[in-house]
Amino acid sequence: MKLNQFNLVKSLFFGAIFFFNAIAHAALEIEITGGGAQQIPIAIVPFGGAPFGGAANTKDNISEIIAADLNRSGLFRVLETRGMANLPTSPAQIKYAEWTALQAQAVTVGSVQSVGGKLKVSFHLMDALKQTQLAGMDYQISPHQVRTTAHKIADIIYQKMTGQTGLFASRIAYITKTGKRYALQVADADGYNPQTVVSSNEPIISPAWSPDGSKLAYVSFEKKKPIVYVQSLTSGSRQVLANYKGNNSAPAWSPDGSKLAIVLTYGANSQIYTVSSGGGDLKQITKSTAIDTEPIFSPDGSQIYFSSDRGGKPQIYKVPASGGSPSRVTFEGGYNVSPRFSPDGKSLAYIRNDGGAFKVALQDLASGQVQILSEGNQDESPSFAPNGRVILYATKVGGRGALAAVSSDGKVRQRLKDSSGGDVREPAWGPLAK
């Protein structure tokens, strides 16, 4: 951790401490180790209604969840509201001069009301200077949806204030190893609500979200060899996608979800194939005597990028998704693997071996310019947030597997610690909730 490299804004730091209480129950605790150069000052006034804007049957506090999301992004400076004489819960109650005196650019107010067994959540985002509404939302939800709703509100604020699509109402998948037990888990993007998708005494690797977020493909060694499974998150039903002789690994969904690229070996080296998402319709895409692995579809679905040592050292190549002749993509550095596309298709994240240290690199595909983003020595598995602004990856902290995240401009860093004491690895960031 290189705190001094970044301008850690004091108030952001205190804000983070203030929210430690709120995140103490998370299995993955998130620590911010850097901040954006320009942070938008915003007041998130506690929601009115049920105690602290929470509700019966839930400890979740909407305004705290929103504030934690915005703080974590590094793009906002959430202002302290405790001690303020007036805490408005509707736009009409806002005394704007009190908030502009704190440099607030925006103020959010809201309330939560119990209506039958449901909750009615109202929220307004107000421009503090123009005194106009930037967004207003009304939700009718079940009590268990408080967190998701708070993340959706945080996404609206993020989108209105930064002009970028949000990322908070999404989930991440990752593998834990605790003792001898492996588990594929899914948690909210803020580390809350971890749930086990599948657990086994044999390794599980390479989780991949279906584009609609309803399924995960992964590789399990439960039969003493790598086999690719697809599992529905809601029903738990799992299907063998590929169990051919040799290895079956590295699943990657096509953008339309109709097929997956996988890696098979039979009796020889790893080669890339496509298979329909229901299994079958197997098609060989690469034909080489080298290693061809880690396929990923370009966001338009037309190309498959992959890593290969066909030129001697591993580099990233691309091939038409229907097959054809591959061409080389990376030229700088002697070892570039694990390509991942940004959602807009404009850049490629991958792992570079930089003099024995494995780091996350980001390449602008138009200019070819490469930036090294991560600071560890054994960083792996880069995965873009659904809005492309953050890259989640696996790292090692004190010899243990942990997750870390870096903004795509390299300015904001987060570390996700597993409070259960196990190893965490192989992160995959899922799509935004609908």
Partner 1 sequence: MNQKTSFNAKLLMVAVASVFLVACKSTPVTPAKVEDKSPAGASTGADSGADTGAIKEVAIDSSANSAGNSALKDPNNILSKRNIYFDYDSDAVKAEYRPIIEAHAKYMQANADAKMILQGNTDERGTREYNLSLGQRRAVAVKNSLNLLGVKDSQIETVSYGEEKATQNCAGDSCDKDRRVDIVHQGD
Minimal distance, residue 356 CB to partner 1, in Å: 8
Interacting residue with partner 1 among 1, 101, 268, 282 (CB under 8 A)? 268
Minimal distance, residue 5 CB to partner 1, in Å: 25
CA count, 13 A, side-chain hemisphere, 106:
27
271-310 positions binding partner 1, by CB under 8 A: 291, 293-294, 307
Minimal distance, residue 189 CB to partner 1, in Å: 10
Using CB under 8 A, count the residues that bind partner 1.
95
Work out whether 263 is an interface residue with partner 1 (CB under 8 A). Answer: yes
Contact by Cβ (8 Å): 248, 237: no
Minimal distance, residue 190 CB to partner 1, in Å: 11
Check residue 51 and report its DSSP letter: G
332-371 positions binding partner 1, by CB under 8 A: 335, 337-338, 351, 353, 358
The smaller minimum CB distance to partner 1, of residues 167 and 412, is found at 167
Contact by Cβ (8 Å): 418, 424: yes
Minimal distance, residue 303 CB to partner 1, in Å: 19
Work out whether 235 is an interface residue with partner 1 (CB under 8 A). Answer: yes
d(CA 174, CA 380): 12
Strand (E) or helix (H) holding 62: helix 62-73
Contact by Cβ (8 Å): 131, 105: no
Could you give the 3-state DSSP secondary structure of residue 327? strand
Interacting residue with partner 1 among 102, 233, 372, 397 (CB under 8 A)? 233
Work out whether 212 is an interface residue with partner 1 (CB under 8 A). Answer: yes
101-160 positions binding partner 1, by CB under 8 A: 120, 122, 124, 127, 130-142, 144-145, 147-149, 152, 156, 160
Work out whether 87 is an interface residue with partner 1 (CB under 8 A). Answer: no
Work out whether 232 is an interface residue with partner 1 (CB under 8 A). Answer: yes
Q: Left if phi > 0, otherwise alpha if psi is -120 to 50, otherwise beta: which for 9?
A: beta
Interacting residue with partner 1 among 222, 243, 310, 333 (CB under 8 A)? 222
DSSP string covering 287-313, please? --SS-EEEEEE-TTSSEEEEEE-TTSS
Minimal distance, residue 360 CB to partner 1, in Å: 11
Interacting residue with partner 1 among 83, 116, 267, 355 (CB under 8 A)? 267
d(CA 237, CA 194): 19
Could you give the 3-state DSSP secondary structure of residue 64? helix
The residue to which tokens 């939700």 are assigned:
139
Work out whether 223 is an interface residue with partner 1 (CB under 8 A). Answer: yes
Residues composing the chain:
434
Torsion of CA 12, 18, 21, 23, to 10 degrees: -20
52 burial type by CB count under 10 A (0-12 exposed, 13-18 middle, 19+ buried)? middle
Work out whether 327 is an interface residue with partner 1 (CB under 8 A). Answer: no
Stretch 165-204: interaction string toward partner 1, x if CB under 8 A: ------x--------------x-x----x-xxxxxxxxx-
The β-bridge partners of 316 are 307
Single out the segment in contact with partner 1 by CB under 8 A; choices: 52-60, 64-72, 88-96, 367-375.
88-96
Single out the segment in contact with partner 1 by CB under 8 A; choices: 23-31, 37-45, 64-72, 210-218.
210-218
d(CA 78, CA 203): 41
Work out whether 95 is an interface residue with partner 1 (CB under 8 A). Answer: no
